[in-house]
Every structure is written in structure tokens, then in C-alpha cells.
Structure 1
Amino acid sequence: MAGLGKIARRGFLIGAASVAGGFAVGVYSLRQPFVSPLADDLPPGVAALTPYVVIDAGGVTLITPRADMGQGATSIQAALIAEEMDVALDAVRTDPGPPAAAYYNAAIVPEGLPFAATDDGWLAERARDAGAMVAKAMGLQITGGSSTVPDAFDRLRRAGATARAMLVTAAARRLGVAESALRTEDGVVIAPDGTRLSYVELAPAAGRLLEPREVALKDPADWRYLGRPMQRIDIVAKSTGTQRYGIDEALPGMLYAAVRTNPLRGGGMAGYDASAAEAMRGVVRVVRLEDGVGVLADNTWRAFEAVKAIRIDWGPAPYPATTEALFDSIAGAFTEDARDSRLKDEGDIEAALEDGADVTAEYRVPFLAHAPLEPMTALAWFRNGQLEIRAGTQIPRFAEKTARELAGLPKDGVVLRALPMGGSFGRRLEDDYIAQAVRLAWAAEGRPVKLTWSREEDMTHDFPRPAAIARGRGRVSQGRVAALDLSIAAPSVSDSQMGRLGFNALGADTAIVAGAWDQPFAIPAYRVTGYRAPETVPISSWRSVGASANGFFHECLLDELIHAAGADPLAERLRLCSHAPSRAVLEAVGEMSGWGGALGPGRGRGLAYTLSFGVPCAEVVELTATDRGIRIDRVFVAAEVGRVLDPVNFENQVQGGVVWGLSHAIHGELTYADSRPEQENFDAYPMMRLPECPEITVRGLENGERIRGIGEPPVPPAAPALANAIFAATGQRIRELPLSKSVRFA
């Protein structure tokens, strides 16, 4: 495919030498389709219809606009299109396409609405429809919230079916036969007499046809890819070390950049002395940034060393200086004035607790870093009045807008090419590193600039998962849980993150209570209240967002109440559960783990369930208390996603989510001293090592009516299942993460 910017102003690439003729096609499921974002950019002979399929002389290219961060988004998007189009996955190319409103994510807004996923009432459904229309109106091209599959399942299958239908029509007209007499297979239309016409040769004629309004989708029984074990299309490249990420991008004559900005976020910079850095070998220029400095040099290492040599006078942080003071700020939010939401308020909790509580507890979770393996990196290049950007990003349209405003360029003056990412966990929902690359490229006088953050810059300039505090109390009666009252205080992710994107968050922030207020348990007196703490350090979405903390709060409190009632943790959850798919998940994980069977001395099982992102997920952790510490032996996971589209990747995603959740439950903590993070590299922010990892058994259930994503839901139950297992084995209740502050792990 051609080099960036050669033929496509906004980054969609088609090899000029290979497009003797072709067409682009796709389909939208909402009322009025967007004009194809490719229409103005394709060379002569290529007809742009809608944005998901391109056929040229070189073959088929499938447009996969949701960002791939290692979760397999590119593969599943390609499979959804290929399934209905009848093309072989190993014979197609993929491309993320240009940043465009046409690639809006209809599933991203409904997740934040104050309606539980189990609510299928008229008002909830109309609100979800309205949320999807808001996403369309705003052109929200965002990857996150486990929304790729829910958003793409119908839309991309229809795109593939539409492309196939147009190709069949073109073949029928050429051959003079009925469309019903033709069949397709691996990119070829086949006539009754055996005549074979390739999609490539039919593309020019198909491109002149009107898109059909209705297309038939395959019966799932006829699926070739979906629902069956698939090999991801990037697996060979990743297994052989040939996969290229954003950090691998390079252009001739490129300068290399490093930055050093104030680790006291929001403190700015009073001044600096760069004389020592400017005299160092390989340094081309020192550039003042908004809150720090950047160095342009002839390689990355020299840029790193030079930027460390600059003496800088940092301004003070506008938030408390220590972890303890930050938690004090959060604890101070438990007031009526700071109340943000009360989305769960069933029964009379005050009457139920009038005579006191059987369980009273306070839980805490720390700030957590995203810490992806690939640090923040972006390549930018000003040339001939245009700006070209290559970067991994989850928000390409926002990043493009930021770059355009910084450079003062018109809408068609920026080309942004979205690249694969070496991890994100939500970090690349921000565009700060892209903005820095643009500023540095502006100072580079026409040369490309590749910015790479050091690991220390990456860790100390993260937008972490917020710390949070929960206060819970409850009553039991006649061996049953009778009342549960949970109050949660945390800063608002929506205020912080959306504010940086230029939006004012309206109403309650459901992330403060997500994974707690919306749990399907019929407890007679049941209340969940959210309190909005003042913003301290700037924060952002982290894998599973608010549910990552609230799963721990809710499931530990519920487990304590069940124990106080003398009930079985699984049996009592099943009795309380008011949602049939969730009951099936609990029953499945109980059967998988052999719940109720004897384990022996020093051993224990812990159960936790969390419904997040519409996915009921239950986990059982089985462990042993050894002389060397707690050893996690096995984990069992059951999750309901409506339909498992790729069993292999489903299992990998669930296992990865469990490891992520357990790692942070055991080790994860971002602490502050002098207003800056104390953990500056991976040695101070450890993850689970292979010897620590348990055997993880996974089961995907398919009883739900909606298709759901699985990237985040396995995270929230991991920490409480582990904490509850520790209690079962040792009798010790731990109410603060990380757990390693209270117990030793083998």
C-alpha cells in the first residue's frame, strides 16, 4: 500500500499502482447514513459507497476502525465483515480507515446512562436509542468500554452482506442469469455452469450500483468463522516479532524527541536552563512546551539524556502532596452536599438499620497506573502546509481535532494514521502525547519528529484510575441478608477525562457507582449512594473503570453479610439473584469449581460476581495458605456475553482480565509524595510473574439476548474473589488493596 498521505488526505491508504478499478462499500444501521469518508480521497476508477470494504486490483481490504490494543479488535471486525461477504480471512488486508464521523461508536454512550443493563423497560430502551443517536450526532469514534463487538456485530455483518449482494448483482448482469442462481465462495461469484468471476474483476461494475436497502444475513448455523475457534490475523506477526507498533514508525531524515514535563500535574513551569543539554552531542534543539520542555536529537537515547540535563523550575501542584492527604480529601466527600447519585434505593434502609448493623466496614482502593508496555509515542510531520500524524490512539477524531487546532490548519490539513498499540488499558483515550508531538514537529522546520516517552515520564504522567473509599453496613435476619447500604466516594472520571476533551459532563457520574448500584440482587433493603470527591490528580478511564473498584466494595461487603448470616456464599447469592442469566453464570461457576466440596486445612475458595458492561461475570478463586505465603492455585470464570464469536480470543481475554485484576489486587498501588507518583518504573509497579499465575478455567455462556464485549468484565470480580478466598482459608478479612499490604504471597 502507498505511503501515508500520497493519495488520501485523511490517512486511508490504497496503493495507487494497484487500483485499476474498485469500490468501497459499507452500511449503517441508524436512520441516515453518513457520506462515505472515502468519497473525496479515492483516485479515479474507485467508487466510494460506504466505508467498510475496499476492492481494488490487489484484492480485498476490510476497514476495521476500532483500535487494536492487543485485544484482537482488528481480527474480530474483519471476521464480521468476511463472514457475510464470503472472503477468506487469510486473503484480505485490513486498514483502520481515516478518522471519520461515519465510524461513530453507537454502543459507547448507552453504557454511561443511569439504567441497569438488566433493565429492558420502555424508558431504558428509548434512552439507549437516544444515546446511540447522540454518539452518531457527535461522531464519537472511540474504542473503549468493551463496546467494539456490541457496536460492530450488526453493522459490520450488514456491510459484508451489502458488499456481497452488490457483487452478485454485478455478476448476474454480466452473465445474464438470475441472482438467485449464483453463489459466492472465497471472493468469487460462481454461476450454475461453473463460470467463476472474482470480486476484483466485478468491483468496477459493482461500484456503479445503488446500495440495496435490505440484505439477508447468514443463519448462524452457516457461519464459517464466527462462533468457531479462529487464528487472529496478527498472530503470526506477533509470534515472529514482525508486528509493527506506533513505536516502530520511522521516516527518512527523522528527528527523535523526548519530553520532560511537570510531574506535579497542573503545576506548570516557571523557567528552565537548557544550556547543558544544548551542548550535548546529537542535540538539535530544545523546545519549550506548555508545562515542560522537549528535546530534538539524532536518536532517542540522546534525546532522553539531554532532557534529563535540563534544569527546570517547576510550579506547585494544585492538589494534596501525599497519599494520606489525597485519601483525606476523598473521605471528606461523605457529605450530603457532595452526594452525586442514589441510583439504587429499594426498601426502607433506615428502618432496616434502625437497631444497628450486623456488619459495618470501610474499604479502600488506591490510585492505579495504566502502565502499558509500549510507552506513549507519536510521529508528526509538517510539510507543504499539511500535518501528518502516525500514532496509536483510541480517539482518532479527537486527536485529529486537537492537532488541527494546535497547528491552525483547516479540516483537510491533517492526516492521522491510527497504528496498532502495544497495550493501553485506557491510557490512549488521552491525546496529550500527540499534542506534544505536534508542537515539537512545528519546531522541527519540516523534518519528521518521532516522540517517545521514557518509562519514567510515562509512569509519572499517567492519568490514573482514581482512588476510592466505600463505607458499608448491613443487617441479616434468619440466616439471610436483609439489608445492604453502600456509600462510595471517588473523584469523577467523567469530569476529569471529558473536560480534557472539551466537554462538560452533565448529571451524575455513573462511573462512581458502576458495578455496585446495578447488581441484580433482590435484597429487601438495598441502597447504593455515590459521593463526588474533589478532583485531585487528573484521572482517566482504566480497564473496567468504576467497576474495578466497586466490584471489590460490593462483593466484599455482600460476602461479609452472608458470612454473618451463616449462609453459603453461592447459595445466598443464587437466592438473592433476580436475573436469570446471572443465576446461570453463578450456577456455572459453582459447578466448574466443585463449590461445596472439601478442600482441606489451610485452603479456601472465594466467590465474587459483578455485572459490568452488561456482562454478568462470576469468579471463584481457590488458594492455599502456605508457610511462604498465599498461593493462588486455580481460578474459575463464567461469563454471559450473548454469543461467543471467537472462543479462542474469548478465553484469552478472560484469562488476561483475571491476571490483570489479580495482579493489581495483590501488588497494584500508585502512591504520592511531594505531589508526584513514587512508582516511576516497572520495578516499583510489579505485575504477576508466571510462577504466581494460577490455572484459569473459562466458560462462556450464550443465554443473553444482546451481544456483549469481554475485555473488561473479568477484571472487577478478581480482587473480591481473592479477598474472599483469603478469608475462607485464614479467617482474615482484608478491606484495603493492594492485599500484599496485609498478607504475604508465595
Structure 2
Amino acid sequence: MSKLKTITRRTFLIGSTAIAGGVAFGAYMYKRDPQNPLTANLKEGEAAITPYVKIDTSGITLITPRTDLGQGTYSMQAMLIAEELDVELDQIKVDPGMPDPAYYNTALSDEGAPFRPTDDSFAAESTRSFVDAAMKFLGLQITGGSTSVPDSYEKLRQAGAVARETLKAAASQQSGVSIDRLKTEKGMVQLPDGTSLSYVELAPIAATIEPIKDIELRSPNQWRLIGKKVLRHDIVAKSTGTLPYGIDFEAEGMVYAAVKTNPRQGGAMNSYDATEAEKMRGVQKIIPLKNGIAVIADNTWRAFKAANAVTFDWGQAPYPAEMDAHWQTLSDSFTPDLQDSRTRDDGEIDNVFAEGPPDFEAEYRAPYVAHQPLEPLSAIAQITDERADIWTGTQIPGFVRSNVAKATGLTEAQVFVHVLYVGGSFGHRLEDDVVKQAVEIAKSIKGTPVKLTYSREEDFAHDYPRQIAMARAKGKVKNGKVDSFDLSIAMPSVIASQMGRQNFPVPGPDPAILAGAWEQPYAIPNYRTTGYRAPELAPISSWRSVGASSNGFFHDCALDELIHAAGADPLEERIRLMWHEPSRKVLEAVGEMSNWGSDLGENRGRGVAFCLSFGTAVAEVIEVTNTENGIKIDNVYVAAEVGKVIDPINFDNLVKGGVIWGLGHAMNCQITYADGMAQQSNFHDHEGMRLYQCPNIEVRAWENGAKVRGIGEPPVPPAAPALANAIFAATGKRIREMPFNKHIDFV
């Protein structure tokens, strides 16, 4: 029995036992609707018909619990609710709400189940249901994994429909007109005689009615917002510079703080001397923290300057001090003792390689890279004996609330997490160090709000970057076709590192180690993927597309080399091997979009890549020119299968942004360690794509898939391999290591 089958069977047995528990209570608890958190503090005349719709005298507020990181999530969530509620986007306010188990992420189960996203068998769907139940019991409110749209698509439309029908019931009760004769439009219930009753005036009655849950969602041909080109809810504020981000928030009477902690992450602070810093203008207090100090001052700049004036004796790093040792650790990890998973083992690959040497064999590398969001990390904390208030941008408000409660000795009910707009994250806001430190500082001056802001240098020094990874691939060809492909990948565990900081154990294999590799829907006769869990090195975290960000590069570049060894056309052979119809269509689409096979002319090349990640199939073709001064990226063609596009304009922007993000980091970016410290300190030495380097990007969406998928991360994994494959086509040079500028120049 293969390891995947073993894992699947165990997951099924454990999951069914955990959910059913041998008694009806488990199933009842799973099916029961979560308690509505909005009803706890309602005033007279206010209604919270579902956890997502609140109506009071000021109007209609839609709760949008998936954090907006710049990707338009608040607007998307509001659109889904408003579609069924029959309100216009300019009639409502959006509010992320307080963290609550009612807002658990239902779509995380797809990534948590050990099945390919293309597997819709009974065992796969059953296991996903069990994982979903676990997510519900745990109340995991997380924004990430490209799950916001899959999580929200039905849930929020149902919330809007329940609210609409309950308001109609309230209008029926007030007017005496039967519900089936009532209609709704623009926040009003319309009576047959033309009278309109506003949702606001109906709220007091609606608050006394049991929500109407026997509903039928509207069909797509009735939609006003979903799939239409509409303005994002925040577009005017963002375009005029008036949208308040987390960094902009101010609390009355607050003070400002900066921190300086050991740049060798996890290393101790042996001693420090703050004599000079204490004399500096505006400095109010300097306090020791775990592994460092905090400066409290009358503005952020003065806090930064004082923190830099403190001298330290730092302890050593708890990981290898130099990069060579990091790479050597990965190289040494391809051993049976460190095998984490073998999730694909098709055919008789060992027998094939026993017959003779491979036709292709290579090693690939992907470095650590920083998250580097444009908005600096910040948090405001105000602690009293009765409550704690936190204002910050975060993707994990539930964890923040729990951690603040532990740090202060308050109950979770006494902790109020106010989630603010975020100016970029790329996974960075899945960490909450800035909050923990803000709370530690605020405890020393109870009652006074403290705004902690990281300098850019402190952020780079203490970022938990993308995992370092290495892959080894080999393959054989037969009759001009790909016949055998064996891919092994070694990296430290992202999940163990990230969730370990939350004291949240995640048993079993780490799915990130093979994500973006094992689930690729190619029908290669002999096909194996093996993941090796390297020992922990520098602490790491989720970075946009997580394991797939490096594995997409490994898998597709190796496949491209194998296709070249077979003498086959790169696009045609991928299409021939592709058994999954929606994935085949995106490959065919980029071929058509790029006029694949046409002559580009001298010194030009065209490369194709495909990656299925987070259930979303994305194919990209990149065209480059080999100039005297380096590679110029000319055009990028992208096709993606997402099942349903909610907002076409935002979809186009997210795909283009993902391509630019993926290309820029593949070209230029890495974090390296010397003496245990990150050598890169700011954007100047961790440089993304420049504006003049940005190619023309053409995007096409497909909506043929059975499930609705996300698009925030999936455009990233194919970008690097498509560029590498294009560079090979233009120059004959294979690049097997990121960043590419170590081997070739760009213009």
C-alpha cells in the first residue's frame, strides 16, 4: 500500500471517530449553526440577522472577516452578501468585525486533506468534510491559502439571502402582505402598492423574528454584481489617499515605540547599554524585552534613533551562522530517515531506472526570500486591568486574541482585536510578533496606548522568510515522449516553524514540502514525488504561494528539461500528458494567446510553464529578448481556471500582480545569512521588478471547473519556470537556481 493510501485511510478513520465520536453529539455540533457574535451587544432597534449583516439607525453594515491585504477581499465579501441582500455597494459599510469562531475558514479543508484537488472521489470529499469539521470545532479564523473566495462564495450569499428573507418577513408582519408578494431592491422591501419599507426601519421587527433559513440562492442570470465590472468598495479612498491603513491609526494619548532585538533570530541578549539613548530627545522609557529592548518616545522617528543608539552584546544564532551550512543541511537531507512523504508513486519507476542511466538529471535551488510588504509592521496596544485593545492589520485575529489574553491574564472576552486595512502582506501578517511586543510594552505603562512600529531594517532582520529549498530530479524518455519523472524535494517544515510559534502542534507530514509538485495532473507512466523534511534552520513562514513558490519552479523546469531531452515541443508535450480537462484548456489557451510556434525572430525565446496550486490551474507563456546588456522580458500570457470569477477587474489585477511578484523575486531576491544575521536590510538589496522591466501581461480567465477557487497566490509559481524556460529558448542556457541574476543579467 502506498504512503498516500495509508495516510488517507488513517485520516478517514481518525476523522470519522473524531467527528462522530460514536455518538450523535458530534454530528449535531458540526451541523449546528455557530452562535451569532453580533447579537451580544445589540441596542434597541438594531438587528443582526446573521453573523454577517447588522442593521441599525446609521444604516447597513456587512461583516467581512477575511482581512483585506490589498487584494480586495473586503469588497469581494461585500459583493457576495450584497448580491443576495439586494443592496448596492454604496449603501453599505464594511467592518471586519471582532474575531469569533463563527467566522472560521471553511475552505482550509481542501489544503488540509491528503488528496489532489482534482480528486472528487467519495473518500476525498468525505475526508475534506472531516477536516472542515475540525476547522469549525477549532474556530480557525485565518486569511490565507487563497481561500477567501472559496470560503465566502456560498456562505456569504446565504447570509445575504437569509437577511433578505427575514426582512421580508418583518415587512409582511408590519404590512399584513404575504411574503410571496413582496420584493426587495436597493435596501428596500417593495409592497405591491408601490410602498417601500427600508431595511433600517424594518430592523426592530426583524430583530424579533427567527431568521428565515429556507432559502434558494439566485441563479447567475439574476446576478447584478457577481461577475460584473464594478468599482471596488475601497477604490475611491485608495485612489485619493484617504483610506486609513494600520500604520495610519492613532489612539488618543498614545506614545510611540521602537524595538531592537537580536538580529540572530532566537538568539539571546546577553547585555545592553542604553546610556546614550536615555539622554536623547523625546525618549520616555527604555525597557528590556525578550531578546532585546523597547524604546518609548514621543514620536516614532525619535524612538527609532534612540533604539539605534543602544549597544548590545548579542548571543549566537540557534541555526547555522553561514549560508554554506544551510545548503549543506538540505543536501544531506535526501535520506530515508528524513523522508516526510511520498505522495505520488505511479508505475514502476525503480525498475525503469534499474534498466539504465537517466536521460536527464539535475539539481535545483531556491533561496530564502523576504516578505517585504510596503506598509511597515505596526500595532497599537492599550492594556488595563479590565480589557485589552489591539489595533493592527492581521490575518490571524483569533490567534492574536488568544495570545494577548495569555500575555495579560485577561479572558479572551476582555480582548478586543480591531483589524485594520493592510498595505501588503504576502504571508507576513500570519505572524504576530509585533502585537506580542506591543502588549509587552503596553503592560509597563498600563492605560496608555502604545504604537509600536518596526523600522524597515528591524523588519528585514526579523522577518520569517520563505523556506530555503533544494530539489533533485531525473527522468527518462521513450519514443520521443516523457516516460519517467522522479522528483525529490528537501526543505525545512514551514508549518512546524510557523505554527510552532503559536504553540499549535500540527502532526503528520507537512503538505507544503510537496505542494505545487505532487498534485500536477500529468499522466506520466512512471511518476514519483518524494518530500524530505530538513532539520530546522532559520525560522520560516508562509510566503505568497508557500511551498508551491519554489516547487513550481523545480517541477516545471525539470519537466521542461525532460521534454527537451525527448525532442518534443514544450507546449504540445505538456498538453499530451495532461489528463485533467480544465488544466488542458489553460495550456491550450496560453498557446493560442501567445501564438505558440510562430517565429519570434533572432535572439528571442518563448517559454511555457504550468502549475496547479491551491486547486487553481494556471499556465503562463513568457517571451524574452536576449539583448547585448541582458534579458528583456517582453510579454506574459496567463490563463487560469478558477470556476467562477467574482470581480473581473480585480481578478485581472491580482493575476498581473502575482506574475510581477513571482518574476521580480525570481530575478533578483534572496535572503542570505552571515554570522547568523540576514545580510539584506531593505529594498535596495532585496529588489523586486522595476517599473521599466515590467512586461505587457495578458490575462484570460476560465470558469469551467466544478469548484470555485482563489487567485491570490496561484499566478506566482509558474512565473519563475516560464521565465527560466524562455531564457533557455533564447540563449540555450539552463538556470536551475534562484535568483536568476546570479547567472544572467536583466535589462
TM class, shorter-chain normalised? over 0.9
Shift of 1:324: 1.4
- Supply the distance in 1 between the matched residues of 2:149 and 2:665 (Cα, whole angstroms): 26
**Equivalent position of 1:400 in the other structure:** 401
**Equivalent position of 2:236 in the other structure:** 236
Matches within 5 A, 1:293-442: 293-354=293-354, 355-383=356-384, 385-442=386-443
* Amino acid of the structure 2 residue aligned with 1:86: D
- Supply the distance in 1 between the matched residues of 2:359 and 2:411 (Cα, whole angstroms): 64
**Equivalent position of 1:159 in the other structure:** 159
Aligned residues: 719
- Supply the distance in 2 between the matched residues of 1:211 and 1:311 (Cα, whole angstroms): 62
* Amino acid of the structure 2 residue aligned with 1:165: E
Q: Is the 8 A contact 1:29 1:155 kept in 2?
A: no
Shift of 1:637: 0.2
- Supply the distance in 1 between the matched residues of 2:521 and 2:47 (Cα, whole angstroms): 50
Q: Report the TM-score when normalising by structure 1.
A: 0.95
**Equivalent position of 2:25 in the other structure:** none
SS at match of 2:660: helix
Shift of 1:384: 5.2
SS at match of 1:591: helix
**Equivalent position of 2:543 in the other structure:** 542
- Supply the distance in 1 between the matched residues of 2:714 and 2:446 (Cα, whole angstroms): 47
**Equivalent position of 2:88 in the other structure:** 88
SS at match of 1:724: helix
**Equivalent position of 1:519 in the other structure:** 520
Q: Is the 8 A contact 2:589 2:639 kept in 1?
A: yes
Q: Per the alignment, do residues 99 and 200 of structure 1 end up closer, same or farther by CA in structure 2, a change over 3 Å counting?
A: same
SS at match of 2:538: coil
Shift of 1:631: 0.4
SS at match of 1:267: coil
- Supply the distance in 2 between the matched residues of 1:724 and 1:505 (Cα, whole angstroms): 36
Matches within 5 A, 1:1-16: none
SS at match of 1:378: strand
Q: Is the 8 A contact 1:29 1:154 kept in 2?
A: no
- CA deviations on 1:714-738 (whole Å, 9 max, x unpaired) are 0000000000000001100110011
* Amino acid of the structure 2 residue aligned with 1:164: R
- CA deviations on 1:353-402 (whole Å, 9 max, x unpaired) are 12010000000000010010112100011235211110000000100111
**Equivalent position of 1:465 in the other structure:** 466
SS at match of 2:131: helix
* Amino acid of the structure 2 residue aligned with 1:304: F
- CA deviations on 1:514-542 (whole Å, 9 max, x unpaired) are 01011000101100000000111110000
**Equivalent position of 1:5 in the other structure:** none
**Equivalent position of 1:642 in the other structure:** 643
- Supply the distance in 2 between the matched residues of 1:407 and 1:744 (Cα, whole angstroms): 52
Shift of 1:30: 6.2
Shift of 1:42: 2.4
Shift of 1:29: 13
**Equivalent position of 2:58 in the other structure:** 58
Q: Is the 8 A contact 2:659 2:715 kept in 1?
A: yes
Matches within 5 A, 1:111-190: 111-190=111-190
SS at match of 2:382: strand
Q: Which runs of 5+ in 2 are unaligned?
A: 1-27
* Amino acid of the structure 2 residue aligned with 1:595: W
- Supply the distance in 2 between the matched residues of 1:732 and 1:47 (Cα, whole angstroms): 65
Greater mean deviation of Cα atoms: 42-51 or 267-276:
42-51
Shift of 1:196: 0.7
Shift of 1:110: 2.6
SS at match of 1:145: coil
Greater mean deviation of Cα atoms: 467-476 or 319-328:
319-328
Shift of 1:331: 1.1
* Amino acid of the structure 1 residue aligned with 2:499: M
- Supply the distance in 2 between the matched residues of 1:112 and 1:566 (Cα, whole angstroms): 38
- Supply the distance in 1 between the matched residues of 2:513 and 2:171 (Cα, whole angstroms): 55
Shift of 1:47: 4.1
Greater mean deviation of Cα atoms: 500-509 or 428-437:
500-509
- Supply the distance in 1 between the matched residues of 2:412 and 2:592 (Cα, whole angstroms): 57
Shift of 1:207: 1.2
- Supply the distance in 1 between the matched residues of 2:177 and 2:386 (Cα, whole angstroms): 52
SS at match of 2:610: strand
Shift of 1:46: 2.8
Q: Per the alignment, do residues 315 and 332 of structure 1 end up closer, same or farther by CA in structure 2, a change over 3 Å counting?
A: same
SS at match of 1:655: helix
Shift of 1:40: 2.0
Shift of 1:693: 0.3
Q: Is the 8 A contact 1:586 1:638 kept in 2?
A: yes
Shift of 1:510: 1.1
Q: Does 1:563 align with 2:564?
A: yes
* RMSD (Å) for aligned C-alpha atoms: 1.2
SS at match of 1:546: helix
- Supply the distance in 2 between the matched residues of 1:47 and 1:573 (Cα, whole angstroms): 55
Q: Is the 8 A contact 1:112 1:511 kept in 2?
A: no
Q: Per the alignment, do residues 199 and 49 of structure 1 end up closer, same or farther by CA in structure 2, a change over 3 Å counting?
A: closer
**Equivalent position of 1:501 in the other structure:** 502
- Supply the distance in 2 between the matched residues of 1:230 and 1:135 (Cα, whole angstroms): 33
Shift of 1:313: 1.4
Q: Is the 8 A contact 2:45 2:203 kept in 1?
A: no
Q: Report the TM-score when normalising by structure 2.
A: 0.95
- Supply the distance in 2 between the matched residues of 1:698 and 1:320 (Cα, whole angstroms): 43
- Supply the distance in 2 between the matched residues of 1:260 and 1:384 (Cα, whole angstroms): 27
- Supply the distance in 1 between the matched residues of 2:188 and 2:214 (Cα, whole angstroms): 22
Q: Per the alignment, do residues 409 and 384 of structure 1 end up closer, same or farther by CA in structure 2, a change over 3 Å counting?
A: closer
- CA deviations on 1:433-475 (whole Å, 9 max, x unpaired) are 1000001111123211000000000011000101100000000
* Amino acid of the structure 2 residue aligned with 1:65: P
Shift of 1:124: 0.7
- CA deviations on 1:33-57 (whole Å, 9 max, x unpaired) are 1111122222344344431001111
**Equivalent position of 1:554 in the other structure:** 555
**Equivalent position of 1:583 in the other structure:** 584
- Supply the distance in 1 between the matched residues of 2:116 and 2:311 (Cα, whole angstroms): 52
- CA deviations on 1:39-93 (whole Å, 9 max, x unpaired) are 2222344344431001111111000000000000000000000000000101110
- Supply the distance in 1 between the matched residues of 2:633 and 2:112 (Cα, whole angstroms): 34
- Supply the distance in 2 between the matched residues of 1:652 and 1:268 (Cα, whole angstroms): 43
* Amino acid of the structure 2 residue aligned with 1:172: S
* Amino acid of the structure 1 residue aligned with 2:272: Y
Q: Is the 8 A contact 1:106 1:131 kept in 2?
A: no
**Equivalent position of 1:12 in the other structure:** none
Matches within 5 A, 1:612-631: 612-631=613-632
SS at match of 1:583: helix
SS at match of 1:539: coil
SS at match of 2:108: coil
SS at match of 2:193: coil
- CA deviations on 1:125-153 (whole Å, 9 max, x unpaired) are 11111111111000000000000000000
* Amino acid of the structure 1 residue aligned with 2:446: E
* Amino acid of the structure 2 residue aligned with 1:308: N
SS at match of 1:528: strand
* Amino acid of the structure 1 residue aligned with 2:176: G
**Equivalent position of 2:484 in the other structure:** 483
* Amino acid of the structure 2 residue aligned with 1:453: Y
Q: Is the 8 A contact 2:112 2:131 kept in 1?
A: no
Q: Which runs of 5+ in 1 are unaligned?
A: 1-27
Q: Is the 8 A contact 1:726 1:733 kept in 2?
A: yes
- Supply the distance in 2 between the matched residues of 1:106 and 1:461 (Cα, whole angstroms): 31
- Supply the distance in 2 between the matched residues of 1:505 and 1:330 (Cα, whole angstroms): 22
**Equivalent position of 1:11 in the other structure:** none
- Supply the distance in 2 between the matched residues of 1:172 and 1:517 (Cα, whole angstroms): 55
- Supply the distance in 2 between the matched residues of 1:112 and 1:546 (Cα, whole angstroms): 14
* Amino acid of the structure 1 residue aligned with 2:42: L
- Supply the distance in 2 between the matched residues of 1:659 and 1:29 (Cα, whole angstroms): 45
- Supply the distance in 2 between the matched residues of 1:581 and 1:68 (Cα, whole angstroms): 29
- Supply the distance in 2 between the matched residues of 1:38 and 1:61 (Cα, whole angstroms): 11
Q: Is the 8 A contact 1:670 1:677 kept in 2?
A: yes
Q: Is the 8 A contact 2:47 2:55 kept in 1?
A: no
Shift of 1:172: 1.5
**Equivalent position of 1:97 in the other structure:** 97
- Supply the distance in 2 between the matched residues of 1:693 and 1:76 (Cα, whole angstroms): 27
Shift of 1:411: 2.3
Shift of 1:318: 1.0
